[in-house]
Chains A and B, each alone.
Chain A
Amino acid sequence: MINPAFSWNIVDDIRTMWAYPFMVNAFRAGAVVAVVAGVMGWFMVLRRQTFAGHTLALSAFPGAAGATLIGIAASYGYFAFCTAAAAVIALATRGRAAGPGSSRVSESALTGIVQAFTLACGLLFVALYHGFLNGTTALLFGSFLGITSSQVALLAATAAAVLAILAAIGRPLLFASVDPDVAAARGVPARALSVAFLVLLGAAVAETAQITGALLVFALLVMPAAAAQRLTARPAVSLLLTVVIGFLVTWAGLTAAFYSPYPIGFWVTSFAFAVYLAAQAAPVLLRRARRPTFLAGAPA
């Protein structure tokens, strides 16, 4: 196994990493995934659908395990299971906006049951496919090794499709997310939009899971978006900020994972969480700094 040392000469480091074709692919895939996960996660956080998003993220695991069991490419399994889980959740909850105040007690329970059952299916597939145990960890926690160029091409194509559909429904979706009642009164098909959004989220998750693993997709979905929405209230700016944060965090995570013995999942979540904490602290600190300091002269 390669174990190069990290120097603070960033250009040299990047040149070292990019000498390996699999690392170039990993960076390309990471960039695609960061953009898709960031944009979809931004809407997910806005709509407060973190639980549904997390459940979709976890259903990537049985998808990959099932695909391995029946001997097809894992990508198909990811997409099949994630979009199926999205459809189940969306249809069972009938697209009611999940904002605080809406009665969703048994909706969240239903989401939880879907999650437990899909994960149990994953366990079953792993158990039926003997000798798969080492791969389980990679499926759950991700691996950036061995991403092929064709995989990157598939990722990019799906990402383009997801983003194109999102761009088409983006405006009404934003309206329906911010104020579902007024949007419904204006004739926006909130229910259909909600179903479409969840299925898109499923597709985005299926993509992301191939890099970060099923358990850590959620970090890329929720953390950059939560940080960006805390920093600014303007939709376009915070959407852009989300993508930038996700992109930086993923590339930094890849670099750190390359130069250290610790896994990419740990680095990506840690960097993203640090950004999130900074975003939480920044407005408070700024407000404190701006406060008139008429007591500044008083002895402490």
Chain B
Amino acid sequence: MSILAHPFLQHAFLAGTLIAAACGVAGYFLVLRAQVFTGDALSHVAFTGALAALVAGIDLRLGLFAATIGVAAGIGLLGRRGRADDVVIGNVFAWILGLGVFFLTLFTTARSSSNGTAGTSVLFGSIFGLSARDAVVAAAVGGGIIVAMAAIARPLLFASVDESVAAARGVPVRLLGVGFLALVGAAAAEATQAVGALLLLGLLAAPAATALLLTARPYLGLVISAGLGVAEIWAGLALAYAAPSLPPSFAIIAVATAAYLAAYGGYRIRRGRRARRGKRSHLASSAADFRVTAAGARAGLSAPALPRRGPAQASRSAQASRSAPGGPARARHNGPMAGPAPQGAEPR
């Protein structure tokens, strides 16, 4: 393995592995809880935090972590039950990004032009530029995020798939939501060092969405998401090494996108086959938020506990989840329905 003979690649692989695993775990819940837009917001906050730190002349990572964790926790506290409105999030992060431009101007005019690429490397990452120390710190923080996520995984999963029942059972839903977002903030700050502020959403969303397409079992999905993230970052690094004209961040995101496309294609083919077997009537009769896949119905798993449900269905699903001790069975609810799907809840 001559590829691992270079110290910069060793550092990239060490940091990249744990960063990808942490992002895979955090991203899985992010996608499950329909909070991908929050991850998007954090990517822009990361840029501002890093540049503010550069302007202040302190360690870039300090600003990065302070900004992402602070804003993530703030978003969690703002919204009811730890979920803020997308429009509010959009307004806030658009302005924070404006502040980032301000810091970028301050930085580029105050320092000599030799450091003019700092803004670009914050935006698009420089995983090949990590020093041994950076890599060890990034790996340690990544490991910490994974351990913390594992510790809260069970109650968080419960709160994610059925918030009201979880709250009724005494799960601290709000605290979990805020704590989870803080962990996502930390993961976003980590990912910024690998693929940059603009591309970190790919590391958060792509492995998780792929895993959700591959399996409906939550813990298996969590492991697949983390594993996919690691495999994608390895493949991306190898690709960037083999073809030096490809930036590593592009290679990583391209591999992740390709993996998602493959999983999506496979999922559509499987769905199509199932539909041809005459299960369409069953699908059409169930409500949009209660899509039970034919396979799940056959296996007797009739409790599709999905996030984001109107109050009318909450009680029904409460009974369902009590009758099915296996918990959230199928969290699969994408792809087109035949005909206009009835909406679960009244918007606003």
Contacts and interface: CB of A to CB of B under 8 A. Distances in A.
Task: Report whether chain A binds chain B.
Answer: yes
Interface of A: 45, 48, 50-51, 54, 58, 94, 96-97, 99-113, 115-117, 119-121, 123-124, 127-128, 133-134, 136-137, 140-141, 180-181, 184, 190-191, 215-216, 218-219, 222-223, 226, 261-263, 265-270, 272-273, 276
Please classify how large the interface on chain B is, using the bins under 10, 10 to 19, 20 to 34, 35 or more: 35 or more
A106 B91 contact: no
> Which 4 A-B pairs give the minimum distances between C-beta atoms?
A269-B98, A116-B202, A101-B345, A99-B347
B343 A180 contact: yes
Interface string B61-90: 000000000000000000000000011111
A37 to B, nearest CB: 12
A106 B221 CA distance: 14
Given A105-B307, A124-B250, A273-B95, A112 B347 contact: no
A163 to B, nearest CB: 23
Given A58-B198, A106-B333, A128 B245 contact: yes
Contact of B208 (A109, A123, A218): A109
B129 interface: no
B90 A105 contact: no
B101 interface: yes
Given A48-B86, A269-B97, 9 more contacts: A94-B336, A101-B308, A103-B306, A106-B31, A115-B201, A116-B257, A216-B94, A262-B102, A263-B102
- Give the interface SS of chain A, mostly helix, strand, loop or mixed: helix
B310 A108 contact: no
Interface in B98-143: 98-99, 101-102, 104-105, 109, 116-117, 119-120, 123-124
Contacts of B120: 133, 136-137
Contacts of A184: 340
B249 A222 contact: no
Interface stretch (B34-42, B147-155, B176-184, B269-277): B34-42
Nearest to B347: A99
Of B88, B209, B306, B348, chain A has the most CB atoms within 10 Å of the CB of B209
A54 B40 contact: yes
A211 to B, nearest CB: 14
